[in-house]
Structure 1
Amino acid sequence: MTIEPAIAHRLGQIMCDTTSMILWSPAQSWVRQQAPATTLLCRVGSGQATYHRFDPHLKQHQITYGKRMIMSKHQPDAVSGWLSGREIRQRKYFDGEVTTLNLLAHTCCHEFAHLLQHVSGKRYRGSVHNRHFYLILDELHSSGGADAARRHLAEQAESAGMAIPDVPILAPDTRQLMAKWSVGDAVGFGAGKRQLEGRIVRVNRKTCTVEGTGPSRGLRYRVPVQLLNRV
């Protein structure tokens, strides 16, 4: 299923509303005990990049939901490349069921977990998705916060005439994905400012070894096949 950019933007605004009302509101007083006068700004970006950052001058947490990320998570063939899908399956969030609705709700929780991780002083350079982050993310799911975000997101989208698909998306067959790639293929992986490019130098069992090109020349990466796209 594909959706128009304008619909993706509107869904992004609903994700912002869900983050502010369902996740930020109950945590706001605790956050401000740690860092007085802290605020949250949620916005919809025009690209794929989805991230949390903190502006120390404004004392403002900023969460951006990429419009093209929302469009991608409506396309079953593209879902396997997103960390959110792997987290749902591997950590059994939402009973391990990957749907577009679950992906978008979990994305809200994932970025908000980065906010709480930052406030807790557990986000380190080179160690972002660490055990402290996953303790926070696990708590958001086990406490009911993720379910509340999912309900709010679904209800608001339906009220706006943009019901979000809630049909299970099956995990891809890794063997079929591996068969698509050969040594020498030019590939890209990552998203937004972290988009990297290179050429495959080895096809492994579930990953490909990629030698960087351009700004990544001289570096090698072992990339899960689900994250690769052809350039």
Structure 2
Amino acid sequence: MDDNEIFQLGELMCFVTRDSLWQPAEQWVRARSPGSSLHCRVGSGQATYHRFDPRDKQHQITYGVRMIAAKHQRESASGWLSGREIQRRGYFGGELSTLNLLAHTCCHEFAHLLQHSAGQRFRGSVHNRHFYKILDELHQSGAADATRDALADQARQKGLALPDACFEPVDTRQQLARWQVGDTVRFGAGQRELEGQIIRVNRKTCTVDGIGHSRGVRYRVPVQMLNRLTPSR
């Protein structure tokens, strides 16, 4: 998919989050915090998150385009927390696909909104038992299935490819063994491709210091997204 199609998928994720998740819960949220609102946006990078601004009581959910692109590739999709949640907790039958991953991402970030509204998000304890109780309920209640169906339907109407074919996860342990501190790498795709040098090998990711036009920026990159940077001759 090209950059424009990836961005359009991000906009559909925003629409589905508001329509399938926010609307049914809006009254519940506002009963706990009157005047609360939700703004969804598509970010230019990888970061995907929920944030709350107490000044205007606005919840903001951001879906990063690099996250959306990564979840289209088997090699990079299974390294995300959303993929591990689908498999370990049996969401969507435990099956990994681009459609399942993106729909679950909507549910994951919205669960943070509900967690915050319930006063159960604490410093240093974000993905806690309260969070997973909420996330489990979104799946058990049928809200997650409705989100997935709506996302698939919207993509179909827009003529956007949103694969629902299942794929097997990649063994990150074997991939991590390929990398060591000092290796130069590239990651991302197209106009969003970045370059950097590995400064730390973590359990499932590598910490990379940007080089070239990315100098001065540090990234935590899922190992599946890394490719070796071949020196130019």
Greater CA drift, 117-126 or 167-176: 167-176
Distance 1:225 1:48 in 2: 11
Give the C-alpha shift of residue 93 in structure 1.
0.4
Q: Which residue of structure 2 lines up, in the alignment, with residue 141 of structure 1?
A: 139
2:119 is paired with a residue whose SS is: coil
Amino acid at match of 2:91: Y
Instruction: Give the whole-Å Cα distance in 1 for the aligned partners of 2:61 and 2:156.
Output: 23
Cα-to-partner distance string for 1:12-54 (whole Å, 9 max, x where unaligned)? 1111110001000010001010011111011111111111000
CA RMSD in angstroms comes to 2.9
CA distance, structure 2, for counterparts of residue 66 and residue 140 of structure 1: 22
Report the CA distance between 1:81 and its aligned residue: 2.0
Aligned to 2:27, which of 20, 26, 29?
Answer: 29
Residue pair 2:175, 2:224 contacting (<8 A) in 1 also = no
Q: Does 1:199 align with 2:200?
A: yes
Q: Note the C-alpha offset of 1:58.
A: 1.1
Match of 1:161 in 2: 159
One-letter amino acid of the structure 1 residue matched with residue 149 of structure 2: R
Tell me how far 1:208 sits from its aligned partner. 7.6
Whole-angstrom distance in 1 between the partners of 2:6 and 2:176: 31
Question: What is the match of residue 19 of structure 1?
Answer: 17
CA deviations on 1:127-156 (whole Å, 9 max, x unpaired) are 111111111001000100000000000000
1:159 corresponds to which letter in structure 2? Answer: Q
Per the normalisation by structure 2, the TM-score is: 0.80
For residues 111 and 85 of structure 1, what CA distance do their matches in structure 2 show?
A: 14
The one-letter amino acid paired with 1:14 is: L
Displacement of 1:181: 2.8
* Distance verdict in 2 for CA 1:34–1:187, change over 3 Å: farther
Tell me, yes or no, if the aligned pair for 1:188 and 1:197 is still in contact at 8 Å: no
Aligned to 1:89: 87
Alignment of 1:1-231 (within 5 A): 3-182=1-180, 185=183, 198-200=199-201, 207=203, 226=223, 229=226
Per the alignment, do residues 133 and 97 of structure 1 end up closer, same or farther by CA in structure 2, a change over 3 Å counting? Answer: same
| Uncovered stretches (5+) of structure 1, i.e. residues with no partner | 190-195, 215-222
Q: Mark the CA change 1:227 to 1:132 in structure 2 (over 3 Å): closer, same or farther.
A: farther
**Closer/same/farther in 2, CA of residues 183 and 101 from structure 1, 3 Å limit:** same
2:138 partner amino acid: L
CA contact (8 A) 1:187 1:198 kept: no
Taking only the aligned residue pairs, the percentage that are identical comes to: 58
In the alignment, is the contact (CA less than 8 A) between 1:187 and 1:199 conserved in 2? no
- Structure 2: give runs of 5+ residues left out of the alignment: 188-196, 211-219
1:74 offset after TM fit, Å?
A: 0.8
Cα distance 1:22–1:120, how it changes in 2: closer, same or farther (>3 A)?
same
* Residue aligned with 1:81, SS: coil
2: CA distance, partners of 1:83 / 1:24:
22
Counterpart of 2:167 in 1: which secondary structure?
A: coil
Separation in 1, partners of 2:80, 2:72: 12
Q: Distance in 1 between matches of 2:109 and 2:181?
A: 35
| Counterpart for residue 219 of structure 1 | none
Contact 1:117 1:136 in 2 (8 A): yes
Q: Contact 2:206–2:223 at 8 Å: present in 1 too?
A: no
Q: 1:31 to 1:179 in 2, by over 3 A?
A: same
CA offsets per residue over residues 108-135 of structure 1, 9 Å max, x none? 0000000000001111111111111111
Preserved CA contact (<8 Å) 2:181 2:199: no
Distance 1:224 1:15, change over 3 A: closer
Does structure 2 conserve the Cα–Cα contact (< 8 Å) formed by 1:199 and 1:213? no
The residue type paired with residue 69 of structure 2 is M
Work out whether residues 48 and 67 of structure 1, in 8 Å CA contact, stay in contact via their aligned partners in 2.
Answer: yes
